[in-house]
Chain A
Amino acid sequence: MFDNFPLWPQRASTMAGNVDALYIFLVIVSGLMTLLIFTAVIFFAARFRRRRGVPAEQIEGSTPLELTWSVIPFVVFMVIFLWGAVVYFKGRTPPRDATEVYVVAKQWMWKLEHAEGQREINELHVPVGRDVKLIMTSQDVIHSFFVPAFRMKQDVLPGRYTVAWFHATKPGTYHLFCAEYCGTQHSGMIGSIIVMEPAQYEAWMSGGSTGPLSATGEKIFAELGCSTCHRTDTQGRGPNLQGVFGKPVLLEDGRTVIADENYVRESILDPGAKIVNGFKPVMPTFQGLVSEEQLNALVAYVKSLSNAGESGVKASPAVLVPAKGAGKAPAKGSQVQ
């Protein structure tokens, strides 16, 4: 029962090193502070215990001392705040060329789809050493995609996309938990992230692919009749979607917004919200006509139209210098069975 008793989470992503460094710094600072307070209290309690004939010395207080132990903690807090903010920003800005995985959270299971088309339930196979960007939404309540080994957690909300990314540095199988209470089987909504060597990953990828997600998206784009208005030339009643994704879009009421995943999703489900400049609001809503998976496929298709220049299917695995943390010997803790 006690064969596997980790006291420290596995370190399997670039972020893990940064978070652990800040954590250890804070443990040391807090440990020192707790030690200081405990020894002061115990020493004073012993040294100044009540003795007959020795009255307490009334000390009013000293403003300079008060200022010192207000300002110094605040300065230390600011250091911690800035360090935490830097780590947070790095964790919340996905690199541009990351491979994308669409995650749909449903009461008590995770459905994952690779851009290359593979579909998985409660499991995610990723190659080591490549940035992976997760585009997540929920079909019902709020869930939270939590991989302790990657020090990554991001709530998954119904009605919009939330994005998270990681860069696995150590092959192995790591826990995937749902971290936001979501009902009866909240503790059963778990899975695993299987990080594989690139060669193993290619082998796994080749089998069982129904074609890239963007291809499925293209099929749905045609079936639903989107192509009748969104044509490749400029006579269409809807805007031409070539090269739209990721670029700013001028709206009819003068605002400009970046065409990200949430914009594409909103334009499909609630076309009236943001009308592109120079177009009439004639697009019907597809709310309820399109499932989450079809929606993900359409978003992947629109995305593929804008980076048409690249090879589309397999983004070349950019050779990345292993992050500082990954170089060290893997931390204690064996394979998770």
Chain B
Amino acid sequence: MALAKRRFPLPDSQTIPGQTVAVHGEGHNPALLHHFAEQQQQRDAASLGMWIFLATEVMFFGGLFCAYLIYRLKYFAEFSAASKTLALSLGATNTAVLICSSLTVVLAVYAAQHAKRSMLLGNLILTIILGFVFLGIKAVEYNEKFEKHHVPGPSFQFNEVNIPGHPGQYANPSHAQIFFALYFVMTGLHALHMIIGIGIFVWLLTAAWKGRFTPQYNTPVEIGGLYWHFVDIIWIYLFPLLYLIDRHP
């Protein structure tokens, strides 16, 4: 641990050498919180805090993956039949959209660290646009599910649907309903996290627009980036598990 070189917070009058005083013109760097000794400690703390928060998110989705694993092994036939009704092309496009958004996020973090204002703003905007594209495609998919009565609940219908690989054998509607219950909860929760991600990036965009991020202080962009990449990783797993259960002819 880099303990030794840490010093007690500087008395208010003395600023960190080479530190451009930000817009507020206060004595020391405005972003350095009072209880941190110095910038590096605050950045490390924020980064570790976000990683631990991502650990809670992994366990949060983990409960759903556990339910998915158990019901997939129990009702594989119905799961493959129900998975086949999902639009593979839309799912694949969404995965590509999220991967591109991860690229723009990483470029935004790079831009913040190298004081490239236009590149930062451009990539932030691109990320937000890609986020909305993802939600748009998701809305199209959900709408199609509503029309086909595949939404679990009283209106659910899944009669005479063949089980792939077993012509003439029909999927049990109640077991298929469990698949769609899991599908809606998992993708719904992921979409909710996507909406929160877009909110964070809109806030980052406004802060970047006001020029708050400098090569010395860009932790929020980094933290927002970590969160976005995590949401992308969750989709990287959701896509094959939900869409690609049994696609061979």
Q: When A and B assemble into the complex, do they touch directly, with CB atoms less than 8 Å apart? A: yes
Chain B CB within 8 A of A330 CB = no
Chain B CB within 8 A of A272 CB = yes
Instruction: Report the 9 A-B pairs with minimum CB-CB distance, sorted nearest first.
Output: A281-B169, A272-B172, A270-B172, A272-B169, A281-B168, A272-B170, A280-B168, A275-B169, A272-B77
Residue of A nearest to B171 (CB): A272
Return A268 CB to nearest CB of chain B, in Å: 13
For residue A280, which residues in chain B have a CB less than 8 angstroms away from its CB? 168
Residue of A nearest to B173 (CB): A285
Chain B CB within 8 A of A273 CB = yes
Q: Which of A258-282 contact B (CB under 8 A)?
A: 270, 272-273, 275, 280-281
For residue B172, which residues in chain A have a CB less than 8 angstroms away from its CB? 270, 272-273, 285
Residue of B nearest to A275 (CB): B169
Q: Is the interface of A mostly helix, strand, loop or mixed?
A: loop
For residue A275, which residues in chain B have a CB less than 8 angstroms away from its CB? 169
Chain A CB within 8 A of B35 CB = no
Residue of A nearest to B175 (CB): A270
For residue B166, which residues in chain A have a CB less than 8 angstroms away from its CB? 281
Residue of A nearest to B76 (CB): A253
For residue B170, which residues in chain A have a CB less than 8 angstroms away from its CB? 272, 281
Which of under 10, 10 to 19, 20 to 34, or 35 or more describes the interface residues of A? under 10
Return B73 CB to nearest CB of chain A, in Å: 12
Return A88 CB to nearest CB of chain B, in Å: 24
Q: How far is the CA of A281 from the CA of B171 in the complex (A)?
A: 11
Q: How far is the CA of A273 from the CA of B163 in the complex (A)?
A: 11
Q: How far is the CA of A270 from the CA of B74 in the complex (A)?
A: 13
Q: Which of B157-209 contact A (CB under 8 A)?
A: 163, 166, 168-172, 175
For residue A273, which residues in chain B have a CB less than 8 angstroms away from its CB? 172
For residue B169, which residues in chain A have a CB less than 8 angstroms away from its CB? 272, 275, 281
Return B167 CB to nearest CB of chain A, in Å: 10
Return A131 CB to nearest CB of chain B, in Å: 32
Return A318 CB to nearest CB of chain B, in Å: 38
Return B104 CB to nearest CB of chain A, in Å: 46
Return B27 CB to nearest CB of chain A, in Å: 48
For residue A281, which residues in chain B have a CB less than 8 angstroms away from its CB? 166, 168-170
Return A282 CB to nearest CB of chain B, in Å: 8
A-B contacts besides A272-B171, A280-B168, 13 pairs, CB < 8 Å: A270-B172, A270-B175, A272-B77, A272-B163, A272-B169, A272-B170, A272-B172, A273-B172, A275-B169, A281-B166, A281-B168, A281-B169, A281-B170
Return A91 CB to nearest CB of chain B, in Å: 27
Return B81 CB to nearest CB of chain A, in Å: 11
Q: How far is the CA of A275 from the CA of B167 in the complex (A)?
A: 13
Return B80 CB to nearest CB of chain A, in Å: 12
Q: Which of A222-275 contact B (CB under 8 A)?
A: 270, 272-273, 275
Q: How far is the CA of A26 from the CA of B171 in the complex (A)?
A: 52
Return B146 CB to nearest CB of chain A, in Å: 26
Q: How far is the CA of A202 from the CA of B170 in the complex (A)?
A: 49
Q: List 16 A-B contacts (CB under 8 A).
A: A270-B172, A270-B175, A272-B77, A272-B163, A272-B169, A272-B170, A272-B171, A272-B172, A273-B172, A275-B169, A280-B168, A281-B166, A281-B168, A281-B169, A281-B170, A285-B172
Q: How far is the CA of A305 from the CA of B227 in the complex (A)?
A: 62
Q: How far is the CA of A66 from the CA of B86 in the complex (A)?
A: 59
Return B198 CB to nearest CB of chain A, in Å: 42
Residue of A nearest to B170 (CB): A272
Residue of A nearest to B75 (CB): A273
Q: How far is the CA of A270 from the CA of B170 in the complex (A)?
A: 11
Residue of B nearest to A270 (CB): B172
Q: How far is the CA of A165 from the CA of B82 in the complex (A)?
A: 41
For residue B77, which residues in chain A have a CB less than 8 angstroms away from its CB? 272
For residue B171, which residues in chain A have a CB less than 8 angstroms away from its CB? 272
For residue B168, which residues in chain A have a CB less than 8 angstroms away from its CB? 280-281
Most buried by A among B163, B168, B169: B169
Residue of B nearest to A285 (CB): B172
For residue A270, which residues in chain B have a CB less than 8 angstroms away from its CB? 172, 175
Q: How far is the CA of A281 from the CA of B170 in the complex (A)?
A: 8
